[in-house]
A and B are shown apart, each in its own frame.
Chain A
Amino acid sequence: MLLLLPAAAVPAFAITTIVVPTWGIAPPTSYAAVSAGAHAADLVAGLGGLAAGLLAWAEPRTRRLGVLAVAAGALWFAPDWEGWEGGPSIVRSLAAGIAPLLAALLAHLVLVYPTGRLDGRAGRWIAVVLYVAAVTIALGQALVRDPFLDVGCWRDCLTNSFLVHRDPGLASALDDGWAAMRIAAGTAVALVVPTRMLGGSPAARRLLAPALAPACALGGAEIAYGALLLARPVEDPRDTAFLAVFFARSIALAAAAVAITWAVARQRRVRTAVARLAARLGERPAPGTLSGVLAAALGDPQLAVVYQLPDGRYIDAAGMPASGAPAPGRVATPVRRAGREVAVVVHDAALLDESSLEREIGGAARLAVDNERLQAEVFAQVADLRASRARIVEAGDAERRRLERDLHDGAQQRLLALSYDLRLAHASAVRDGNDRVAGTLAAAVEEAVTALGELRDLAHGIYPAILTEAGLGPALATLADTAPLPVGIRQVPDARFSATLETATYVTIAELVDDAVRRGASHASVGLRHHGHELVVSVSDDGMDRRAAPIHVVDRVGALGGAVRVKGTSARAVIPCA
């Protein structure tokens, strides 16, 4: 049904251009008949509307806009048909009847630009009121206007094929109503775009900008036309004022056609971008490709595609935490598949809604969405695991530090105080000449000193306090002091690092040195370099070849996102640091 309209518009346009306006008739029965220039302006405006409408019609995402534009282009020619000198009176009467619809149609077109959808209560009301008014006036004119009795008649003064009841008074009042409606519709046309732009986001303003000048011009010309009709009851196409307004309306409509063409071109760009994305699917797009493509295609640089994990958190394509709650002025539109939310697009509120998003993303891009979502989930899981590993190691270290401190502040201090007492008791026993007791107490003091030494070694083994207090340099020097083989230490950076990193580094070196001892080495050499964002630990020795890094070292370094490599008798651990 809808396809009939453009199909009919083409022959109608052909007849209009060739047959209908006849120059040189006095008085002229249409503006196009006034002069070659007026004819050209008439054709450019109507043809422009039709052509832009057909273009939009061919593009699925602007089809609704296209329907309206084709209708507007066709209706533009209605007054020419009405003034078809010698044409069938049914055609001329029908043209006269439908002509008033153009003003309402133009307002509708501006209200729905560029998506073709009528958003907002105010917009809907404006459209409904204007259509009702236009239909009422058109019907009224068709039923009661007898052109023969109309003093202002100039296009078709012969017959009205639909006349039911002759009423010149009512017909004249409807004429004034039509003029008033033009003013109302013109006002709407002129104000809608600036109003929508003022209230809209930057992205919405970018979308509406091409329509601003044409809509304002079109509205202004309609207002002028209506005002002129009210001021002068008899419309004369040769009158300078009327002719000027006609040219203004023609140019404005042609400009509006350009704006519609721009909207179509923009939609084409989006489609091409999505098609390119689909083409790239074969090459496994990198994470973030989808949001990049959509952002570029939709002209919203801040557009983000996020995915929800089963636990409710949102992540981006790289698996990093993201916000599913949009900032003010932005909205989160879900992409659903079989009722399940597979992704959320956070974008400018003016750009998309759920159904158009479905269209934008298209069938091919769905694969990209799935692919990216699965990848993002894996990334997020890996990040979670890494964080959890690091937390476990960190908790263990904190526990060891606490144990060391407890030993130092508790058992060691008590044993010490006990020893002081033993020593005092020993001194007094010696003074009293009680040799047996003095001997026992001296032995007890010796025992206490031994116990303190063992306790100190135990505490140091649990956690070397010097590491927290003085850093890796002194801690490694002490490690070398007590190692059962010579340990050469080179290049220890003076800088301090996080407790986690320092502990991991210390433990790594201690374990690798122990390993050297186990493999029968006679000396070991330790190097430590701070290299940009990583700490590089290397331990080499002269023992038997290492088969693999000690598992404890692999776990330690791995927990911090690092790696250990073993080659011959040397091991190298690279640990990322902030």
Chain B
Amino acid sequence: MRVVVADDVMLTREGIVRLLQAASVEVVAEAEDADSLIRHVAVSDPDAAIVDIRMPPTHTDEGIVAAQRIRAEHPDVAVLVLSHYVEPAYALRLLEEHPEKVGYLLKERVFDVAVLVDALRRLADGETVVDPTIVARLVRRKRQDDPLDELTPRERETLELVAEGLSNSAIAMRLFVTQRTVEAHVKQIFLKLGLDANPASHRRVRAVLAYLRSTG
């Protein structure tokens, strides 16, 4: 697998690059800002880009903007945005236009090189990756007359994995059940929560996240 890494802080960038090299992932280019990232992606034709959310010049949301641009201009290139922020708003924005092959992970998540490689592989397969911390926070959010109380513990578990961006087959493997069981769970969850999105589409991740965020 060939990746481009973009982070304006050298220490962090080097850390990610060494982790990737240790896992035998080929780093074809390193970028310090969004513009050079876009150039490297166009030139090197990587499988994925790992992008810091905050980059020059404004250090706000350059990473999200660059990710959306890469997804729009190079549909084959997956983008993984790394961030310090447990902010569903960023993840939702990232999933807004091109909900597949994009991921939002906390930077400390990728200490575990296995997690990083797994995320890259899932993205390459067309899945979505949302940091479990964000999902956990949304699922555990305090609600009045919580609609999630209607779910069985297994449905709840399934909901979290859907929100994290896993496909039905990946969920089936994770929970040691058949894919058919997962499909039934997902259908049941969507019914109970009154979600009208197609339970099989790529957009279900965003629909679930937005639902979790909006119910108080």
Contacts and interface: CB of A to CB of B under 8 A. Distances in A.
A481 B113 contact: no
A465 B15 contact: no
B144 A523 contact: yes
B88 interface: yes
B108 A449 contact: yes
A421 B17 CA distance: 11
Q: Which of B60, B90, B108, B113 is packed against the most chain A CB atoms within 10 Å?
A: B108
A417 interface: yes
A421 B54 contact: no
A470 B59 CA distance: 13
A478 B144 contact: no
A485 interface: yes
Interface string A144-163: 00000000000000000000
A181 interface: no
Interface string B95-115: 000000000000110011100
Given A416-B12, A417-B11, A465 B85 contact: yes
A55 B87 CA distance: 85
Contact of B142 (A448, A477, A486): A486
A419 B116 CA distance: 14
Interface in A403-420: 405, 408-409, 412-414, 416-417, 419-420
Interface string B17-44: 0110010000000000000000000000
B89 A478 contact: yes
Contact of B60 (A417, A424, A469, A489): A469
Contacts of B5: none
A417 B12 contact: yes
B90 to A, nearest CB: 8
Given A405-B59, A452-B108, A486 B16 contact: no
Contacts of A483: 142
A480 B108 contact: no
B14 A417 contact: yes
B54 to A, nearest CB: 7
Interface in A435-475: 445, 448-449, 452-453, 456, 459-460, 465-466, 468-470, 474
A427 B142 contact: no
A219 to B, nearest CB: 75
Contacts of A481: 88, 137-138, 141, 213
Contact of B111 (A414, A449, A474): A449
B12 to A, nearest CB: 5
Given A480-B141, A481-B141, A484-B142, A413 B11 contact: yes
B148 interface: no
Contacts of A453: 108
B197 to A, nearest CB: 20
B22 to A, nearest CB: 6
A195 interface: no
A452 B113 CA distance: 17
B144 A416 contact: no
A480 B144 CA distance: 12
Nearest to B58: A469
B150 interface: no
A482 interface: yes
A423 interface: yes
A427 B138 contact: no
A420 B18 contact: yes
Contacts of B216: 480, 486-489
Contacts of B61: 469-470
B213 A420 contact: no
Contacts of A452: 84, 107-108
A545 to B, nearest CB: 20
Contacts of B59: 405, 409
Contacts of B117: none
Given A405-B59, A482-B137, A423 B112 contact: yes
Contacts of B15: 416-417, 419-421
Contact of B18 (A424, A477, A487, A489): A424
A420 B22 contact: no
B89 A416 contact: no
Contact of A427 (B88, B113, B137): B113
Interface of B: 9, 11-12, 14-16, 18-19, 22, 54, 59-61, 84-90, 93, 107-108, 111-113, 137-138, 141-144, 213, 216
**7 cross-chain pairs, A with B, having the tightest CB-CB distances, nearest first:** A420-B15, A417-B11, A474-B89, A488-B216, A486-B142, A486-B144, A423-B111
Given A427-B113, A470-B87, A481-B213, 5 more contacts: A408-B54, A413-B12, A456-B85, A460-B85, A487-B142
22 contacts: A408-B84, A416-B11, A417-B12, A417-B14, A421-B15, A423-B113, A424-B18, A424-B22, A427-B113, A448-B108, A452-B107, A456-B84, A456-B85, A466-B89, A470-B61, A470-B87, A470-B90, A474-B87, A477-B89, A484-B142, A488-B216, A489-B216
